[in-house]
Chains A and B, each alone.
Chain A
Amino acid sequence: MAVSSDILQRALDREKQSRKEAERILEQKATELYSLTQELSKSKHQLEILVENKSSEMSSLIQNIIDPYLLLDLNGYIINMNKASSDLFSEIQSDIPEGRLNLIDLVPIDERSRMAVAFQQMVEQGYVKDVQLSVKNKSGSFIHLLINASIVYNNEGVATAAQGIARDITTLKHLQDEKDKLFEDIEIRNEELNEYAHIVSHDLKSPLRGMNSLIHWIKTDKSNTLSENSLSMFEMIDKSILKMERLISGILKYSTSVIENEDQELVSMETVIRDVMDVIQVPDYITVNLPEKLPTFLVSQNRIDQIVQNLMTNAVKYVPKVDGLITWHYKELEDKHQFAIEDNGIGIAKKHHDRIFQVFQSLTDHKDSSGIGLSIVKKVVKSLGGDIWVESEEGKGATFYFTIAIQNRNI
C-alpha cells in the first residue's frame, strides 16, 4: 500500500524542520560549551596559582621546621625532606646512595631492622609515637632521636603517604642521665649522713650516760657524807646531762627531718588534728576548737603530722592550767592552704618572733624543751612550699600561722 505523496512531503518537511531545529540547538550548546570552557580554563589557571602558592608555602614551612622532617611514600621512598633531615643523614651515613632514596638506605645497617619494625607498626596503626632510636654519627658518638610519625590520608580516607619528624634529644638525654646520677649520689649521701648523724649522737650520748652512772654511784656511795649543797649540785649536773642528751636527740631529728622524699597522699586535716590530740593526750582542762571547714589535700602524711604535733604540743604546754583554749583556723588562699593555731597562753614578746624559729632557741627553761621543735617545724613547712610565722603579744596568747602549697590535683 503506497503512501500518498502529500503525506511523504509533509513528513519530509517535518524532518527538515527538526534537522534545522537540532542544528540550532547544537549551535547554541556549542556556544555555551565554549564560554564554559573559557571559564573553566580561567578557574583552572587560578587554581594552579593557588596550588603553586600553597606548595611554596608548604615547602618553606617544611624547610623551616627545625627538626628533621620527612615525607615518604608507603614503601619508605622519600618524597620530600627538609634541610635538617639531609643534614642529619649526612651526619650519620657517609655514603648516601644516588637517585631515588629509601629511608632504610639512610639508616645505619644495625638500626635498619628496628626502623623497619617501627615503619610497619606505623602503617598498621596509622602512627608511631615517641620511638627512640640511637644512631652513631661519623665521629662515633651517639645521636639520640625521638621519632613521631603518622600516615597521611587523602580526602577519601585512603593512605597515600607517611610523614615523620625526628627530634634530636641527645642533649636532653645527657641532662637526664646526669640528673639521674645526681639523684643517685644524693640518695647515697643522704644515707651516709643519716648513718653519720646516728653514730655521732650515739658517740656523744655514751660519755653522757657514763657520767650519769658515775654520779648515780657517787650519790649512792656517799649519800651519808655529802652535804646538802653538794647533793643539789649533783642534782644540777643531772639536769644538765639530761638537757645535753635532749639537745643531741634534737640535732639528730633536725638534721634528718626532711631528708627523705616522701610519698604524697590525700590527707584530711581534721583527722590529722584529732589523731594528734589522741597521741599527745590533751588534758581535760583544755578546750580545742576546730573550724567548720578543714581541707583534705595532697601532702606527705608524716610531715603534716610532724607540724601539727609540734604546734599542738607547744600550745598545750603554754596555755593556762585553768580554762586553756586552743583554736584552729583555716583559710584557702589562691595557691596555698593557710592554717592557724591560736592559744590563750603566755604569749611571746615581739622581739622574739623571729628567734623562736631558729635552732636551740627556747624562750623558757621548760623541762622538756630542747629548743629545736619550732626550727624543725619551719624546715618541714618550707619543704612543703609554705611558710610559718607567729602573731603574739606577751601575756595575750599566740597564734601560729603556717601555709602549705596546694599541689596540682591532677598529679
Chain B
Amino acid sequence: MKGIVFTEFLDLVESKFGLEMVDKIISSSDLESGGSYTSIGTYEFSDMLQLITNLSNNTDISVDDLLLIYGEHFFSVLKSSYPAMLAEYSGSLELLSSIENHIHVEVRKIYPDAELPSFEILSRSDDSLRMVYRSSRAMHMFGLGLMRSTFKHFNQKSDIQYEKIEEDGSVVEFKVQLLS
C-alpha cells in the first residue's frame, strides 16, 4: 500500500484525536515498518489494518465509519496532488465511470507496482451509474468516502446505495443516482 495512504491517515488521526492517539495505535500494533512512514514508500496492508482497527478500538467509532471519513478526507489529497487529472472531468459520473479505464491506467504509469481495486461498470445513464467494486482489501467504505467527496467537488447531489455481494466486502455493488 502506498505510503501516502499511511502518512495522510496518521496526520488525520493526529489532527482529530491528538498525537497521543497516534502514539497509542502505533504502540499497540505490531507494525512491519516499526511505525514510521514516508509518502514515497510502499508498506504492508496489514499495517493499515492494524492501525485502523486499533483506532476503532480506542475511539468507539466503527472501522467502516473511520474508512468513510478517511475516504472523504483523502479526496482533498488527490485534488491537490493531481489537479490536472481532475480538471479533465465535467462531472462526478464522468469521473467515476472513468476510474478503471483512465484514472487507474494513469496511476499504473506512475506506480507500476500499485495494487488497485477494480470498478466494473454495469450500466450508465445520464444521471445514474451501477458499478461493482472488487478488492481483497475490502475497503469499499473508503471508496464510498471518495465518491461522496467527488460529488461535493462538482457541487452535485447524489444518492449512493451499496450492497455487499460477498459477505467479507471484497465484492460490492454501488448504485449511484444523481439528484437534481
Measured between beta carbons, the chain B residues less than 8 angstroms from A10 are: 23, 26-27
A22 x B23 contact (CB < 8 A): no
Question: Is A3 part of the binding interface, using a Cβ–Cβ cutoff of 8 Å?
Answer: yes
A3 x B36 contact (CB < 8 A): no
A21 x B35 contact (CB < 8 A): no
Question: Is B22 part of the binding interface, using a Cβ–Cβ cutoff of 8 Å?
Answer: yes
Complex Cα–Cα for A11 and B34 (A): 12
> Which A1-16 residues sit within 8 Å CB-CB of chain B?
3-4, 7-8, 10-11, 13-16
Report the nearest B residue to A21, measured CB to CB.
B38
Complex Cα–Cα for A7 and B18 (A): 11
Question: Is A18 part of the binding interface, using a Cβ–Cβ cutoff of 8 Å?
Answer: yes
Complex Cα–Cα for A21 and B41 (A): 8
Report the nearest B residue to A19, measured CB to CB.
B38
- Interface residues of A, count at CB 8 A: 18
Interface centre among B27, B38, B41 (most CB of A within 10 A): B38
| Contact A3:B20 (CB < 8 A) given known A14-B35, A17-B36 | yes
Residue interface bits B8-28, CB-to-A below 8 A is 1, else 0: 000000000011101100110
B19 x A7 contact (CB < 8 A): yes
Question: Is A25 part of the binding interface, using a Cβ–Cβ cutoff of 8 Å?
Answer: yes
Complex Cα–Cα for A190 and B26 (A): 114
Question: Is A26 part of the binding interface, using a Cβ–Cβ cutoff of 8 Å?
Answer: yes
Measured between beta carbons, the chain A residues less than 8 angstroms from B37 are: 18
Measured between beta carbons, the chain B residues less than 8 angstroms from A7 are: 19-20, 23
| Contact A22:B41 (CB < 8 A) given known A14-B35, A17-B36 | yes
The main secondary structure of chain B at its interface with chain A is: loop
Report the nearest B residue to A29, measured CB to CB.
B40
Complex Cα–Cα for A13 and B36 (A): 8
Complex Cα–Cα for A29 and B35 (A): 23
Report the nearest A residue to B19, measured CB to CB.
A3
Complex Cα–Cα for A256 and B78 (A): 96
B31: min CB distance to chain A, Å: 10
Measured between beta carbons, the chain B residues less than 8 angstroms from A4 are: 20
Residue interface bits B119-163, CB-to-A below 8 A is 1, else 0: 000000000000000000000000000000000000000000000
A220: min CB distance to chain B, Å: 113
Measured between beta carbons, the chain A residues less than 8 angstroms from B41 are: 21-22, 25
Question: Which residues of B line the A interface, CB within 8 A?
Answer: 7, 18-20, 22-23, 26-27, 34-41
Complex A-B: 20 CB contacts under 8 Å: A8-B19, A10-B26, A10-B27, A11-B22, A11-B23, A14-B26, A14-B35, A14-B36, A17-B34, A17-B36, A18-B36, A19-B38, A21-B38, A22-B39, A22-B40, A22-B41, A25-B40, A25-B41, A26-B40, A29-B40
